[in-house]
Homo-oligomer: A and B are copies of this chain.
Amino acid sequence: MPKSTPPETTEQSRAFRTYIAEKGLRATRQRMAVFEAARTLPGHYTAEDLLKKARSLDRTVSRATIYRALPLLVGSAVIREVDVGRDHKYYLAEVGPTNFRAQLVCEGCDTIVEVEAPFMEWYGKAVAAKHGMRPISQKLQVTALCDRCQKRRTHRP
């Protein structure tokens, strides 16, 4: 059996290189390190997490490069941006074509759980149409307290 995913030779990696080339951009060492870090990190991570991981692959990656790479990674559907109104945004490696998801966010520990919610997509489109607007995207976010945080403390300090 293949040892997890062979880095740098993935189909996804080729797709990303193509995406970049099409825009007349360049597949630099740093950019590919960020790409590799972004698709590898588990769960929801921040730009800072991404920087740390990318640096472990290529010491020369700077914070500015991270922020400059993020729009490319989102644009090429390598990652998805998740903004739950916290102080920083979260990012998430895309596994494949993604159905509409809702975010369940724990108010205590900021843990995010993604839930498929295809009905929501339909609902949002209907609401927009009813107001004569052309729908672009939609977001459903449920704030709640996870088990652990319920036990630890009912309210925030």
Contacts and interface: CB of A to CB of B under 8 A. Distances in A.
Nearest to A121: B142
A140 B120 contact: yes
A102 B131 CA distance: 13
Nearest to A129: B144
Interface in A115-157: 115, 117, 119-120, 123-125, 127-128, 131-147, 150
Interface residues of A, number: 34
Contacts of A124: 102, 140, 142
Number of copies: 2
A57 interface: no
Interface of A: 83, 85, 102, 104, 106-107, 113, 115, 117, 119-120, 123-125, 127-128, 131-147, 150
A139 B136 contact: no
A138 to B, nearest CB: 4
10 contacts: A85-B85, A102-B127, A107-B136, A131-B144, A133-B150, A134-B145, A134-B150, A135-B144, A139-B139, A139-B140
